[in-house]
Amino acid sequence: MGEIVLTEDCMRIISQFETLTGASSRDCIIDDRNDRIILVVNPGEMGKAIGKKGASIKRASEEMGKKIEVVEYSTNPEQFLKNCFLPAHITSVEFMDQNGEKIARVVVRDEERGIAIGKEGKNIFKAKRLAQRQHDIVDVQLI
């Protein structure tokens, strides 16, 4: 697995998020294109990260001045991808090897395809970036 390099900004954001919510994170992506911060929280920390009725994440978003999205980490690549696409329901994930590189083919129900892709493709973008950083998956394809 490739090593995840966190910028100084990301380390500051992770520390600030942990202070505000009590949830520890293992990765951070500053997505300027979609004006958001994506954090990968450690397994079991999702409740802390979001808080009662979304209070913690809302407070953190206001404090940091950007929308914050959280994804729960999983050592299982299939489960991790399912977490990336929430609230869309993924029916199955198939991994293929293409020229020595791992590719994930994600099956989603037709009626949830829009949710999985997201506005201007931001959800698929998030899944691709995180899958590559966390599990060395070079591409994520929606089927």
pLDDT digits (tens, 9 = 90+) for 84-125: 999 999 999 999 999 999 999 999 999 999 999 999 999 999
* Mean pLDDT, residues 35-55: 96
Tokens 């892709």 found at = 117
> What is the rounded average pLDDT of the residues 2-8?
76
Average pLDDT over residues 132-143: 95
3-state secondary structure of 132: helix
Q: Pseudo-torsion of CA 36, 28, 51, 60, nearest 10°?
A: -50
Structural domains for the chain = 8-72 (3.30.300.20), 77-142 (3.30.300.20)
Q: Looking at residues 31-41, what average pLDDT do you find? A: 95
Three-state DSSP state, 2:
coil
Q: What is the pLDDT of residues 12-28, one digit of tens each?
A: 999 999 999 999 999 99
DSSP string, 9-36: HHHHHHHHHHHHHS--EEEEEEETTTTE
| 5 has a pLDDT exceeding 80 | no
Binned at pLDDT 50, 70 and 90, residue 6 comes out as confident
Convert 51-118 into a string of H (helix), E (strand) and C (coil).
Answer: CHHHHHHHHHHHHHCCEEEEEECCCCHHHHHHHHHCCCCEEEEEEEEECCEEEEEEEECHHHHHHHHC
Model pLDDT, residue 2: 53
Confidence of residue 46 (pLDDT cuts 50, 70, 90): very high
